[in-house]
Amino acid sequence: MGKSRKSRTLRKNKKNNKKIGGLLEEFGLLPPVDKLSQFAITDTNLQNFNRTFNAPMDCFISALQLMGILDDISANIMRISTLGVVGFTKAQIEIIFAYKFRKNFDFKSTTNFNEWATWINTLLIPGNVVFAGYTGHVFLIGRMLNGTLIYIEPQLNMFCDLNTEECIKHLRNKNDWSLLFHSDQHLTADQEAFIIQYTQALASSSVPPNLHP
């Protein structure tokens, strides 16, 4: 896409933008985000989880590993490379999922716990997990085939039934909660190229990010 054509597209999308969500929302460039992101998970994933290096800020790496996006070796190499002291920004999380699945992603947040819980209760399909979090931390929530919701937190070694007060009280005492959503449409080649440019701009920025480990 030529520079002038791209500029016209951006101006048109900004004018017609109706809460697209996710990366580059201010430009209205990417497809709208309206689907809860769900990932199939098996007992094998959970039972064979291998966290060789117990890095203190590796919750995002652990989540990717449990979902099968990273294998054990790749996950542990990432733990070594970050030394367990570097987290991931919201933008980085969305970029990683966009790069892997070629869709627009939004790690959507709310300050209303009941709204967050309703998203999970009404949208999560049995046999799947959702990528969730609150400021400074991420984890998974899964729905078993019998409908039971499970809080999956390998960093704190918590795998508990969310129907129990002991389990859910850990989550209630926060200021905000997030869930990952994605677009129904795949990204075009131009949209992927724009994300690459955006990512490179982030890498050269001197502004400290708001870290999400």
CA 192 – CA 95 distance, rounded (Å): 10
pLDDT, one tens digit per residue, over 141-155 is 999 999 999 999 887
DSSP 99: H
CA 83 – CA 104 distance, rounded (Å): 29
Please state, for a pLDDT cut of 90, what percent of the chain lies above it: 49
- Burial string for 99-110 (b: 16+ CB within 10 Å, else e) reads eebbbbbbbbee
CA 125 – CA 127 distance, rounded (Å): 6
Please state, for a pLDDT cut of 70, what percent of the chain lies above it: 85
**Helix or strand run (H / E) with residue 185:** strand 177-186
Token pair for residue 158?
A: 């918590």
* Amino acid sitting at position 196: I
Token pair for residue 64?
A: 């990717």
Confidence at residue 25, expressed as pLDDT on a 0 to 100 scale: 74
In the CATH scheme, what is the code of domain 56-204? Answer: 3.90.70
Q: Which pTM value belongs to this model?
A: 0.84
Q: Which of 16-25, 76-85, 102-111 has the highest mean pLDDT?
A: 102-111
pLDDT, one tens digit per residue, over 95-110 is 999 999 999 999 999 9
Confidence at residue 201, expressed as pLDDT on a 0 to 100 scale: 81
Confidence at residue 211, expressed as pLDDT on a 0 to 100 scale: 35
- Which single residue is written with the structure tokens 């709208």? 32
Domain layout of the chain by residue ranges: 56-204
Contact 51, 66 (CB under 8 A): no
Token pair for residue 183?
A: 């677009």
